[in-house]
Chains A and B, each alone.
Chain A
């Protein structure tokens, strides 16, 4: 086999995608996965909304941003449209606007204390959320072209 060729392919692949297989998720991914698990059993005190948590991680810094957005009233129409199963082009398009934003800067890696601080911050904005209220939840541990982790979770939920 042409070993130099495959060494180059391996290097290119890792440069573009990051080091895989990621049997050990990076720190930011780990925190957000735990956060997502924690939030799944809670209820936010907003009528309708969207919570988004993003994490950035580089050599010596770990930062998590929590953004709570409350969508304008027409969001209700969109949610209803989704429930009715209308086609995408029939659903009204609405914009989010930020309700509050918290930025937590942690150390090089998330310790148990760091994680507790993060979850406490999340719970400030969150009240128990019934799992049936979650319309849609996505998780991504995307690694950008520089190999930096930029994972995020998005939880779309509705009132009871």
Chain B
């Protein structure tokens, strides 16, 4: 399950590109002083030096992340700087990807949508993937319908990882878009050749409480040995007795998250008191 506050992809990106100790030191020092950080972004967003530009967008993203202690009230100015800078080095994929990562934390706007959607048409798989991640992570009542339509288009992408993120985004945002149409897309994705995509699609159907997903999930749970965490979470999200027996059988050999399967079993218990003893959503 992808978390919206998950920095894993950001950290992975940094490691992939081997940023230096100097980079990390400068990042840490800068983020201790929000004013200095804001000034740094302004100064270095258009730097000729790649490392400085990457650091500038990283800092902008972190300053705009409301869950970070560094959150800066000038978030919209920072996001405008990054969005404006995306145009300049269009051929610079590392910078574009870093900027798209930062955009996860920016407030959605028409400008924001334009940049992300345009990137989602890139021929470069890595750029298209990051655009899909950024759209999937953005739950926004105003622009959600537009973003989910684009994600629905990306659900036919040749790249399985992109289809997986599209399924995740549609699943988490279907409630603010056209839920009936998006559920149909999820049904299509539940037939995907990639198990990861199918699992995300079934999870989305569970979020949407679409009963057609119940049979699909029962089939997925028959795998017993390689049932995914997402499958267990989906069963708990449905919270119907249809899964009780399968979950019980799986729990006998389950080596993964014990709390998750315990939550799912309680959610699917026909005993309403037991069911009521756990939260509706797995956190």
Q: A1-37 vs B: 1/0 string, CB under 8 Å? A: 1100110111011001100111000000000000000
A32 → chain B closest CB, angstroms: 12
A12 → chain B closest CB, angstroms: 6
Which residues of A in the span 109-160 have a Cβ within 8 Å of any Cβ on B?
136-142
- In the assembled complex, the Cα of A5 lies from the Cα of B36 at a distance in Å of 50
Does B281 belong to the interface (CB within 8 Å)?
Answer: no
By the criterion CB–CB under 8 Å, are A137 and B118 in contact? no
Q: Which of A2, A6, A20, A141 contacts B121 (CB 8 A)?
A: A20
By the criterion CB–CB under 8 Å, are A138 and B111 in contact? yes
Q: Which of B84, B110, B113, B156 contacts A1 (CB 8 A)?
A: B156
By the criterion CB–CB under 8 Å, are A9 and B153 in contact? yes
Q: B40-76 vs A: 1/0 string, CB under 8 Å? A: 0000000000000000000000000000000011100
Does B11 belong to the interface (CB within 8 Å)?
Answer: no
Given A9-B152, A12-B149, A16-B149, A138–B80 Cβ distance below 8 Å? Answer: yes
B260 → chain A closest CB, angstroms: 32
Given A87-B74, A88-B74, A140-B110, A6–B117 Cβ distance below 8 Å? Answer: no
Residues from chain A with Cβ under 8 Å of B77 in the complex: 82, 136
The residue on B at minimum CB distance from A2 is: B188
Given A87-B74, A88-B73, A140–B185 Cβ distance below 8 Å? Answer: no
Given A5-B181, A136-B80, A85–B153 Cβ distance below 8 Å? Answer: no
By the criterion CB–CB under 8 Å, are A139 and B87 in contact? yes
Does A59 belong to the interface (CB within 8 Å)?
Answer: no
By the criterion CB–CB under 8 Å, are A1 and B188 in contact? yes
By the criterion CB–CB under 8 Å, are B39 and A9 in contact? no
- In the assembled complex, the Cα of A21 lies from the Cα of B35 at a distance in Å of 38
Of the candidates A1, A85, A142, the one having the most CB atoms from chain B within 10 angstroms of its own CB is: A85
Does A89 belong to the interface (CB within 8 Å)?
Answer: yes
The residue on B at minimum CB distance from A23 is: B121
Q: How many A-B residue pairs have CB under 8 A?
A: 69
Contact residues on B (Cβ < 8 Å of other chain), bracket = 20 to 34
Q: B77-109 vs A: 1/0 string, CB under 8 Å? A: 100110110010000000000000000000000
Q: Which of B34, B80, B114 contacts A141 (CB 8 A)?
A: B114
Does B150 belong to the interface (CB within 8 Å)?
Answer: yes
Residues from chain B with Cβ under 8 Å of A140 in the complex: 110-111, 114
B176 → chain A closest CB, angstroms: 14
By the criterion CB–CB under 8 Å, are A136 and B81 in contact? yes
By the criterion CB–CB under 8 Å, are A5 and B185 in contact? yes
Does B213 belong to the interface (CB within 8 Å)?
Answer: no
Q: Which of A10, A86, A89, A138 contacts B83 (CB 8 A)?
A: A138
B110 → chain A closest CB, angstroms: 5
By the criterion CB–CB under 8 Å, are A85 and B34 in contact? yes
By the criterion CB–CB under 8 Å, are B152 and A142 in contact? no
Does B165 belong to the interface (CB within 8 Å)?
Answer: no
Residues from chain A with Cβ under 8 Å of B156 in the complex: 1, 6
The residue on B at minimum CB distance from A89 is: B73
Given A6-B152, A87-B74, A136-B81, A22–B34 Cβ distance below 8 Å? Answer: no
- In the assembled complex, the Cα of A5 lies from the Cα of B153 at a distance in Å of 11
By the criterion CB–CB under 8 Å, are A142 and B114 in contact? yes
Does B1 belong to the interface (CB within 8 Å)?
Answer: no
Residues of B within 8 A of A (CB): 34-36, 38-39, 72-74, 77, 80-81, 83-84, 87, 110-111, 113-114, 117-118, 121, 145-146, 149-150, 152-153, 156, 181, 184-185, 188
Q: A1-B188, A16-B149, A17-B149 are in contact. List 6 more A-B contacts (CB 8 A).
A: A9-B149, A9-B181, A13-B153, A85-B34, A86-B35, A139-B87
Cβ contacts A to B, 9 pairs, < 8 Å: A2-B184, A9-B149, A13-B150, A17-B146, A21-B118, A21-B121, A87-B72, A136-B81, A142-B110
| Top 9 closest pairs, chain A to chain B, by CB | A85-B35, A21-B121, A88-B73, A87-B73, A13-B149, A9-B152, A85-B38, A142-B110, A140-B111
